[in-house]
Amino acid sequence: MRKKALAIISMIFGIMLIVTATAGCAPTGGQTSTQQPSTGSTDTGKTETPTTTAKPVELRVEVFDRGTPGQTPVDNNYWTKWIQENFGNPNNIKVTFVPCPRSQEVDTLNVWMATGDAPDICLTYDVATVYNYYKEGGLSDLTDALNQYGAQLKQYLGDDLLKYGVYGGRQYAIIAKRVIQANTGTFIRKDWLEKLGLPIPDTTDEFYQTLKAFKEKNPGNVDKVIPYAMTHDVDYVAYGFFQTFLEDVSDKDYYVKNRLFLPGWKEGARYLNKLYNEGLISPEFPLDRDGKMRDEDVIRGYAGSYGGNYDLALRNVPGHNTNLKKNFPDAEFIPIDPFTNIYSGKHRKELYDPTGIRMIVPKTSQAKVDAVIKYLNWMADPDVLFFLQFGEEGVHHTIVDGLPMLTQVEGEKMMPSLQNIDYTLIVNGIYLADATKRIKANAFSYPGNEHLFEDSYNLAIRDGYVNPGAGLIPTDADAKYGKVLDDKELEIYAKSITAKPEEFDAVWDSLIQEYLAAGGQEVLDQRAKLWDELRGN
């Protein structure tokens, strides 16, 4: 009995020890245990001897992993090898890529920063995060390295752009260039207009009349007509209605008053309330949190028009035009720009600021700032950028009408992300040295809708402006209450627009009071103070 007991116990412990040992060592796949992902090997058949005999500097660069099916490992593939060959070897730098799941970019970055594990180049789109790191003393100063090694980079990005990454007079973040600043657009059913013999609306009032005509006459002959399809993201998808009533204000006021408090903004909401009560807008828009209900209404032919991203109708996914045509072969959404401001007559709209992703160097990587800048500087070479974005001719792209058109590649040479955006850190969007070609090259991404692209783009930047407050460091109140207030704002739209017309003012005013009490007042005050400090009056 005793022996058996001992035998069993030792067996159990033995098994657990073995499992522990193996679980703690090699992961399945027989890879030797290492804390860092495998480096990009330089096994390309070429024998490159480094130009110095000093030990190579190791540069760890963050790379987003989007989990694209069939992708090659983002930290060890054709592209990482090319980078090592063309940048790493000549400069005696060993470039290692550290994957980060795209969906967790901020969370993972926070944990890395907090535990000192962060790569030398970190990436994020979240401006408040960058500022927080700076405030807490977590970022390396890049100014000197930039001046010494970053001439090409500085020329490529330009001082105006780099300013977005300057805190306290020193450069703490490198800002990627955003090629396309077009933001919002509006689309309408061309075939419905033609059926009713209506012109393309060019003013807000004409647009309103068109919507009413859609509702009354049902040109599509469908069960349900939604003249203007809207989601819960009201200020974005229905931007035009607000822009119609906005008064001209000083740059400071525009920044401080942050939509809700701009003179005229409430009138835009009131107008939407009117339209809603006349049955011209998606009846359940507050439920549509991901745009799916609107997508369905569009594809089923119920929607007459809608607003959103400037290229939304053209995109392959959710495929508004593409799928709509499967149900109604003659139907098509075309871009329009009807909203005119009642004061200036302009088709004003907000554009994206010219910034893309932020690149930062944690304090723990202070010693690597030179290597970092050298890397980004190398990338600013137009030939490098072109190759990274478009690859080899005949393999990754073909030249059509003098413009490169990307082709789908599978296997070893595939791009894990479109145009290799995850490797071309310094630019967001297709970048061609020739400015006129830059925009046109985008049309290829919308198969079946190429003919609409240039119009979409041109209308989307017509009379456009960048928020004068873009690039200002976030105030403490913004960082603290930002998301709360964003949500509250959407609540205000949801409730006030769906209220009865005579109740609109009461609902709007009382919710605004709640907004102010939830931190809104602090934001207003702090923004005003910040503006005065940094920009004078």
Partner 1 sequence: MRRNYLLYLFLVLPVAYFFIFKYVPMYGVTIAFKDYNMFLGIWKSPWNNFATFKEIFSMKEFFRAVKNTFFLNTLDLVAGFPAPIILAIILSELRNQTYKRISQTILYLPHFLSWIVIGSLTIQLFSAQSGLVNTLIEKLGFEPIPFLTEKTPWIITYTLSGVWQSAGWNAIIYLAAIAGINPELYEAATVDGAGRLRRIWHITLPCIKTTIIILLILNVGRIAQIGFDRPYAMGNYLVTDVSDVISTFVYRVGLRSGRFSTATAVGFFQSVVGMVFLITANYIAEKLGEQGIW
Partner 2 sequence: MDSGIKSRIFDMILNVIVFFSVLVCLIPMLYVASVSLSSNSAILSRRVYIWPVELTFDSYRVVFADKTMIRSLLFTVVLTLVFTAMSMMMTILMAYPLSKKGLKGRNFFLLMVVITMYFSGGMIPDYILIKNLGLLNKVGALIFPGLISAFNMIVLKTFFSNLPESLEESALIDGANYLTILVRIVLPLSLPVLATLSLFYAVGRWNYFMDSLLYITDSKLYPIQLKLYQIVYNNMQPEISAIEGSIASNLLPESLKAASVMFCTIPILLVYPWLQKHFVQGIMIGSIKG
Contact residues: partner 1, CB under 8 A: 9, 16, 106, 110, 113-114, 126, 128-129, 131-133, 136-138, 224, 232, 283-284, 286-287, 289-290, 292-293, 363, 479-484, 487, 490-491, 493-495, 498, 517-518
Distance CA 172, CA 174 (A): 7
Distance CA 77, CA 41 (A): 9
Q: Total residues contacting partner 2 (rule CB under 8 A)?
A: 77
Q: Are residues 64 and 105 in contact, defined by beta-carbon separation less than 8 angstroms?
A: yes
Our CB check for partner 2 shows the closer of 300 and 363 to be: 300
Our CB check for partner 2 shows the closer of 277 and 316 to be: 316
Distance CA 450, CA 427 (A): 23
- Could you tell me which residues are beta bridge partners of residue 178? 428
> CB of 163: closest distance to partner 2 in angstroms?
19
Question: How would DSSP label each residue in 17-67?
Answer: HHHHHHHHSPPTTTPPP-SSPPPPP--SS-----SSSSPPEEEEEEEEE--
Position among 352, 364, 381, 409 found at the interface with partner 2 (CB under 8 A): 352
> CB of 362: closest distance to partner 1 in angstroms?
9
The amino acid sitting at 440 is K
Q: Are residues 403 and 444 in contact, defined by beta-carbon separation less than 8 angstroms?
A: yes
The amino acid sitting at 524 is L
Applying the rule CB under 8 A, the residues between 80 and 139 that interact with partner 2 are 98-104, 107-108, 111, 114-115, 117, 125
Strand ranges for 401-511 from DSSP E: 403-406, 427-428, 464-466
Q: Is 377 in the site for partner 2 (CB under 8 A)?
A: no
Q: Is 458 in the site for partner 2 (CB under 8 A)?
A: no
Closest CA to 47 of 85, 100, 96: 85
Applying the rule CB under 8 A, the residues between 192 and 251 that interact with partner 2 are none
Our CB check for partner 1 shows the closer of 126 and 463 to be: 126
> CB of 249: closest distance to partner 2 in angstroms?
27
Stretch that binds partner 2, among 153-161, 175-183, 259-267, 359-367 (CB under 8 A): 175-183
Our CB check for partner 2 shows the closer of 89 and 108 to be: 108
311 touches, from partner 1, partner 2, none (C-beta below 5 to 8 Å by class): partner 2
Query: Vertex 322, ends 318 and 325: CA angle to 5°?
Result: 130
Our CB check for partner 1 shows the closer of 113 and 403 to be: 113
The amino acid sitting at 153 is L
Stretch that binds partner 2, among 1-9, 157-165, 336-344, 377-385 (CB under 8 A): 1-9
Q: Is 296 in the site for partner 2 (CB under 8 A)?
A: yes
289 touches, from partner 1, partner 2, none (C-beta below 5 to 8 Å by class): partner 1
> CB of 519: closest distance to partner 1 in angstroms?
9
- Could you tell me which residues are beta bridge partners of residue 349? 464
3-state secondary structure string across 182-219: CCEEEEEEHHHHHHHCCCCCCCHHHHHHHHHHHHHHCC
Stretch that binds partner 2, among 88-96, 157-165, 422-430, 502-510 (CB under 8 A): 422-430
> CB of 295: closest distance to partner 2 in angstroms?
6
Q: Is the dihedral of CA 323, 327, 329, 334 positive or negative?
A: negative
> CB of 198: closest distance to partner 1 in angstroms?
26
> CB of 189: closest distance to partner 2 in angstroms?
16
Q: Are residues 498 and 508 in contact, defined by beta-carbon separation less than 8 angstroms?
A: no
Residues contacting 311, CB < 8 A, separation 6+: 182, 185, 446, 453, 456, 457
